[in-house]
Structure 1
Amino acid sequence: MGRAVWAGHKPLNATLLVALALGLGACRKEAEAPSQPSAAAQQASPQPMEEGAPATVDQPAVPELKDTFESSASYIFGVSYAPGINQYPGLARHVWNYVQAARKDTEVAAGDGPQAGAGNAPHELSLTFSQVIKTPDLVVIAADGNRYTGGAHGEPLVERYVWLPKQDRLLDAASLIPDAAGWQAVSAAARESLRTAVSLRADAESLPPEQREQMVRQAGKMIDEGTEPDPANFTRFVPVLDANGKVTALRFVFPPYQVGPYAEGTQQVEVPAAVLLPHVAPDYRGLFTGGAPAVAN
């Protein structure tokens, strides 16, 4: 069975969870806006140029990524990058593209929003890119941040990048598990783990039977919608490694709204290698514990 993890949030009161779940539909429209490109979408970005090649309109040069902070009366922008990220130009390009897209969306909102006058909070974009894993085979960068463009709270920004240094490319979910049966297996494992966690929370609340049933039903609907067996729902993942640097599981990361209300924060589920390996593409089986390396033709 997988394991669900809630990062940095206390368990919700069950009555509040039900109320939040019932109002999820309106919130989800905000979260599903195309302002947070997925890792799979970024895989389609142009690949980095060779050193010294001239920049073109279609392939602009990526500047060295440096920590940045800017502020004005209507706009605050801050981003920090993981040390050493510039040594992987292809990875730096994906990160740079993500930052530029997020910044553009925030600037557009700041330009359109009612920011004039005292008492109005400025629009804000803050992002931190941290290195989660660095081995000869894998470099993993986590992006976490927040964008505020008005309203009761900001929009969480969550992204994960799994870089293959030897292949000089990003590993995306659709390439890692290329068949529908694999995503059925991942979906089933994720749903079981998330639903079990909801049931345990409901039991801990000692809810009346009707209220418990409503809580579990509403949470289950959100979980099922956010874990449909489609790689687009599992683009954010982090390998879990053993002492030898082999992948023992994948930790799939779900931003707020995907499998639960905003107040539950980012949720994570680990799917073990035993579930994944039968469906992993041959080129990547060697990354996993128990997976034989691909045989060269």
Structure 2
Amino acid sequence: MAPDRYAITYPTLADRDQGLLPHLHAFAEQQKRNFRAEAGKRPATVDTAVAEGHLRLDFALRNDTDDFVSIVATGEMYTGGARGVPLLAAFNWHRGSRQVIALPDLFDNRDAGLRAIAAHVRRELTARGRRDPAMALTDRDRMLQGTAPVVENYATYFVHGSPGRSGITVIFPPYQVAPYARGFIEIPIPGTILLPHLKKNLRRTFAATVP
């Protein structure tokens, strides 16, 4: 398989954030394995370029504060057919604990936090449809299922804003809450929505005044 079938770019990380790099590499290596497995299923009679396809993956810095550095990976795996498979992941490195923080790990009460986020996301998606008919939801059942307050629906998020006034932005891949043509959909969640449910040691990141 030709080396140029892979196009993977990484951000430059500060010395104190090098512990995040193995997480990015592990995700990229998993996508390579997935790609090779799918490419290997293509029949030998098809064009070589199509049979081998390509893997594109870009790790982009989305936010960098005293508390968090957030990286979002987007890309595509193509091994033939009408379109490629979109790739999406996010990595939120908490500098204090030197750990990647999954969204459920933000909360004392995971279920309450997810319910608050889901309610806000549904309001925002509905409001976007009212403001712009082109963004109106054509499949409400898809939206309700894709925004249900379960962990897998909110696996991809990044921290946004400045210290003390941060929030998170959740990202939905194509098909999850809207048709494929809408692409990735980002919904910001204000820190005020999160604050009642956050773990105590994380509250200063998301609100200027800590209760």
TM-score of the superposed pair, with normalisation by structure 1 = 0.64
Q: In the TM superposition, what is the alpha-carbon distance from 1:252 to its structure 2 partner?
A: 0.9
The residue identity in structure 1 corresponding to 2:69 is V
Q: Does 1:104 align with 2:24?
A: no
SS at match of 1:160: strand
> Is residue 70 from structure 1 mapped to residue 3 from structure 2 by the alignment?
yes
Partner Cα separation in structure 2 for residue 136 and residue 249 of structure 1: 14
CA distance in 2, matches of 1:95, 1:187: 27
Q: In structure 2, what is the equivalent of residue 287 of structure 1?
A: 205
Contact 1:85 1:92 in 2 (8 A): no
Residue 120 of structure 1 and its aligned partner are, at CA, apart by: 5.2
* Contact 1:86–1:92, Cα closer than 8 Å, also in 2: no
1:151 aligns with 2:84: no
CA root-mean-square deviation:
2.3
2: CA distance, partners of 1:247 / 1:233: 25
Q: Does 1:237 align with 2:157?
A: yes
Partner of 1:196: 127
Instruction: Confirm or deny: 8 A CA contact 2:165 2:208 kept in the other structure.
Output: no
**Counterpart-to-counterpart distance in 1, 2:15 and 2:39:** 30
Q: For the structure 1 residues 186 and 118, does the alpha-carbon distance in structure 2 shift closer, same or farther, using more than 3 Å as the test?
A: closer
Q: CA deviation at 1:86?
A: 7.1
Partner deviation per Cα, 1:2-55 (whole Å, 9 max, x = no partner):
xxxxxxxxxxxxxxxxxxxxxxxxxxxxxxxxxxxxxxxxxxxxxxxxxxxxxx
Using the alignment, how far apart are the partners of 1:237 and 1:230 within structure 2?
14
Q: Name 1:141's counterpart in structure 2.
A: 71
Aligned residues: 208
Residues 70-108 of structure 1, C-alpha deviation per residue, up to 9 Å, x if partnerless? 13xxxx111111012675343112111111111101001
Q: Confirm or deny that 1:83 pairs with 2:12.
A: yes
Find out whether 1:129 has 2:59 as its counterpart. yes
Match of 2:167 in 1: 249
The whole-number CA distance in structure 2 between the counterparts of 1:86 and 1:111 is 39
Structure-2 residue corresponding to 1:184: 115
CA distance in 1, matches of 2:161, 2:148: 26
Assess if the C-alpha contact under 8 Å between 2:54 and 2:79 holds in 1. Answer: yes
Could you tell me whether the CA contact under 8 Å between 1:85 and 1:91 is conserved in 2? no
159, 165, 171: which is aligned to 2:101?
171
Q: 1:270 aligns with which of 188, 191, 196?
A: 188
4+ residue runs over 4 A deviation:
none
The answer to whether the aligner puts 1:94 opposite 2:23 as a matched pair is yes
Q: Which has the larger radius of gyration?
A: 1
- Taking a change above 3 Å as real, the CA distance of residues 238 and 186 of structure 1, as seen in their structure-2 partners, is same
Between the two proteins, what is the percent identity of the paired residues?
26
CA contact (8 A) 2:195 2:207 kept: no
Structure-2 residue corresponding to 1:220: 140
Tell me the secondary structure at the aligned position of residue 88 of structure 1: helix
Instruction: Say whether the 8 Å CA contact 1:239–1:247 is kept in structure 2.
Output: no
Distance 2:141 2:112 in 1: 22
Aligned to 1:113, what secondary structure does the other structure show? coil
In 1, are the aligned partners of 2:94 and 2:100 still within 8 Å (CA)?
Answer: yes
How far apart are the structure 2 equivalents of 1:86 and 1:148? Answer: 34
Contact 1:195–1:220, Cα closer than 8 Å, also in 2: no
- Amino acid across the alignment from 1:240: H
Secondary structure of the residue that 2:12 maps to in structure 1?
coil
Ranges in structure 2 where 5+ consecutive residues have no aligned partner: none
In the alignment, what sits opposite 1:19?
none
Instruction: Provide the rounded CA distance (Å) in 2 between the counterparts of 1:231 and 1:85.
Output: 30
8 Å CA contact 2:63, 2:160 repeated in 1 = no
